[in-house]
Amino acid sequence: MTISESDDRLAWQQEQLHYNTFGASLRRRFGGRVQRVSIDAGFTCPNVDGAVARGGCNFCDNQSFSPSRRVRLKRVGQQLQDGIESVRRRYGNVHGFLAYFQPATNTYAPVEQLQEIFRLALDWDSDILGLAIGTRPDCVPESVLQLAESLAVEHYVSLEYGMQTMHQPGLDWMNRAHTHDHLVNAIDRSRGRGFECCVHIILGIPGETHDMMMQTADEVARLGFDAIKLHNLYAVQGTPLGEEVLTGKIRMMQQDTYVNTVVDFLQRIPPTTIVERISGDAPPSYLIEPKWCLEKSKLKLQIEAEFERRGTRQGSDYQPPTPAADQRPRPADNTPESIRSQIDVRGRLPVLKIEGQAI
């Protein structure tokens, strides 16, 4: 990161914010309001199709998390067109858009087909400024990183890695079917290629203490991600986690505890890290617990009020790692062969909703 980039990422401090908010960082970067348009291209996951496991994550039901999974999938271009029109109706003056490939694992397909999908999105409308691509840390072989790097030459590109936690018992409980080593390997191979790296974290995983969650915060700080998304664990209908909550086996984190945990977490990460999200939710008809996560504006105000009460802000407790993240060596690729064989091959997945294919 150059000095000018670092200064820009610290501009939030002069704006009297409590943390480095995503919306403000996008406005500074692009000169106006930028909104994401969620895209579902029909990807699956390697812990669903048997490449590394079956059943998927125990908290995940894509019908709950993505509107596109609740209806018959449209082609990518039509989803983009509909999404852009919807955002313009809601917000009026929008400077530009990011095509957000959100549900499932959006790098888990033959890399030539990935290139076709991503370039289609970037070329669909002149107001599309870049891509955000949600994926797993075990699904980014060198071919995918080279593709992201090439796209980032002329566009904003962010790879979003599902870390969730650094602790293996939590990863096993979720049925992630990857290790923390995959995450470390992915970020160390991604850094310095021109695209941003965002990390997803879940707070409130059963069995994790406050100290364990703070260990994850320190690990995020050590690894040097550009951005972070914090999610509260929540349960939706039709998932293994939902059943455990309904039977009383698992309880969700209380709101006050979550507020304090978020503030503790953000105090430990670098002030330059962009905070893209501070909570998660689901449509009320799908959500089981906790109900408090539906009141996102109220929750945001409570988090800001806790920062104010403490007299702290993001990075107050940050301890720079040694060596610095950008001095960590680039390791060999540890992508599992069962996943690599699905990506580094010629061919096409007929389920992906690209133009020219039948809906």
Distance CA 144, CA 135 (A): 11
pLDDT at 329 over 60: yes
More reliable by pLDDT, 351 or 259: 259
CATH of the structural domain 3-338, one choice from 3.40.1280.10, 3.20.20.70, 3.40.50.2000, 3.30.70.2860: 3.20.20.70
- So what's the pLDDT on residue 351? 61
The answer to whether 223 and 272 are in contact (CB under 8 A) is: no
- So what's the pLDDT on residue 222? 98
Q: How confident is the model at residue 113 (pLDDT cuts 50, 70, 90)?
A: very high
Q: How confident is the model at residue 347 (pLDDT cuts 50, 70, 90)?
A: confident
State the average pLDDT over residues 193-206: 98
- So what's the pLDDT on residue 74? 82
pLDDT at 334 over 90: yes
- So what's the pLDDT on residue 66? 47
- So what's the pLDDT on residue 9? 85
Each as own residue / partner, the long-range contacts of residues 289-295 (CB below 8 Å, 24 or more positions apart, any chain) are 289/234, 289/235, 289/245, 289/251, 289/252, 290/232, 290/234, 290/252, 290/253, 290/254, 290/255, 292/255, 293/232, 293/234
One DSSP character per residue, 191-238 reads: TTSSSEEEEEEEE--TT--HHHHHHHHHHHHHHT-SEEEEEE--EETT
pLDDT at 350 over 80: no
- Reduced to 3 states, what is the DSSP secondary structure of residue 99? strand
- So what's the pLDDT on residue 8? 81
pLDDT at 310 over 70: yes
- So what's the pLDDT on residue 126? 95
State the average pLDDT over residues 175-199: 98
State the average pLDDT over residues 220-243: 97
The answer to whether 196 and 157 are in contact (CB under 8 A) is: yes
pLDDT at 70 over 50: no
Percent of the chain with pLDDT over 90: 88
CB atoms within 10 A of CB 112: 15
- So what's the pLDDT on residue 285? 93
Least confident range from 1-15, 166-180, 262-276, 296-310: namely 1-15
State the average pLDDT over residues 136-141: 98
State the average pLDDT over residues 160-188: 98
- Reduced to 3 states, what is the DSSP secondary structure of residue 163? strand
Residue 332 carries which DSSP code?
-
Q: How far apart, in Å, are the Cα atoms of 213 and each of 177, 207, 264, 265?
A: 20, 11, 9, 8
- So what's the pLDDT on residue 5? 59
Q: How far apart, in Å, are the Cα atoms of 223 and each of 25, 69, 165, 194, 228?
A: 21, 33, 13, 17, 12
- Reduced to 3 states, what is the DSSP secondary structure of residue 34? strand
For 350: left if phi > 0, alpha if psi spans -120 to 50, otherwise beta; the answer is: alpha
| Average pLDDT of every residue of the chain | 93
Q: How confident is the model at residue 355 (pLDDT cuts 50, 70, 90)?
A: low
83-110 pLDDT, tens digit each: 999 999 999 899 999 999 999 999 999 9
Domain boundaries, the chain: 3-338
Distance CA 232, CA 203 (A): 5
pLDDT at 200 over 90: yes
